[in-house]
Amino acid sequence: MRILVVDDSRTMRMLVIRTLRQAGYGEHDIVEAGDGVEALDVMARANVDIVLCDWNMPRMSGLQLLQEMRGSGDLRLFGFITSESSVSMRGLAQHEGASFVISKPFDVDTFKSVFSGVDAAHAAIVHEGLPTARELADLLTYLVGRPVEVTETKQPVVPELAAVGWSYVFPSGGLAAVGALDLRGSLSLATGFGMIPVARMTEALGDNVLPEDLLLNLHEVLNVLVGLYSRMSDLPIALDEVTRGVADQSDVARLLNQPTGRLDAAFSVPGYGGGFLSLVYARAG
């Protein structure tokens, strides 16, 4: 788990981090930001599970940061650590989507009490965002009109082996999830969905290429697979970019290398064979 501590006071950040370690969270990765703008930059470059944030900061306040995150569909856990402790402030924090408010001054027992609930909530959120192999099998079966077998595997589709990569986004353009298929998997789904003769898939495999018409078929499949993520948010999620291969520095490549919050699966389409597919939840850590 990675924890982001956001405060414009370096001394206060050090105090929060020290208290986290004293409370038993020293084994987790803890990163820092000096205000909301820096926090957004950190979250764009690294997977963060929990944000601990001050209320009053220059450039972008804690409340503005929370509103920016929730407005883009980012539902990761967010808590305030602040000297602001009025009933109205706590009500506003809860209304905007904060999970908790810790008042300054705080101590180890306060952190232990709050984070005992946070650990359980984090596990629930990560699980909620993940499609299961059974759900993927049911949806692929519906699409190709014959029973598709899907099993979880420890063999991910890494960027360098991805024949196709894609992303799902919120209305704001914020990233919700990404995915990738190897070439054999791409061709088996594209030809199976279009009920195209197997010989076409065999030819494409021999040429080591995904033809344009089969890519268009695959686009239709991926457009339906977005339904696997419908429970992630009340906001609609849509298919964004579909590309041949995965660029090394892209968001898709970054998330495909994410160790958690993912489903790696092997699948088989009757009569067409199968391949490997990876689906990764963008807000997992």
Average pLDDT on 36-50 reads 88
pLDDT tens by residue, 207-245: 999 999 999 999 999 998 988 876 666 677 889 989 999
The one-letter code for the residue type at 196 is: I
User: Is the pLDDT at 128 greater than 60, yes or no?
Assistant: no
Give 248-263 pLDDT, tens digit per residue: 888 899 889 888 778 9
pLDDT of residue 125: 47
**Which of 127, 125, 147, 129 shows the shortest CA–CA distance to 138?**
147
Task: Provide the pLDDT for residue 119.
Answer: 60
CB atoms within 10 A of CB 35: 20
pLDDT tops 70 at residue 283: no
d(CA 211, CA 201): 10
User: SS3 for the chain, per residue?
Assistant: CEEEEECCCHHHHHHHHHHHHHHHHCCCEEEEECCHHHHHHHHHHCCCCEEEECCCCCCCCHHHHHHHHHHCCCCCEEEEEECCCCHHHHHHHHHHCCCEEEECCCCHHHHHHHHHHHHHHHHHHHHHCCCCHHHHHHHHHHHHCCCCEEEECCCCCCHHHCCEEEEEECCCCCEEEEEEECHHHHHHHHHHHHCCCHHHHHHHHHHCCCCHHHHHHHHHHHHHHHHHHHHHCCCCCEEEEEEECCCCCCHHHHHHCCCCCEEEEEEEECCCEEEEEEEEECCCC
Q: List residues bridging with 103 in a β-sheet.
A: 82
The model's confidence at residue 277, banded by pLDDT at 50, 70 and 90, is: very high
The predicted structure's pLDDT at residue 261: 79
| Widest CA span in the chain | 70
125 contacts: CB under 8 Å, gap ≥ 6: 75, 76, 77, 283
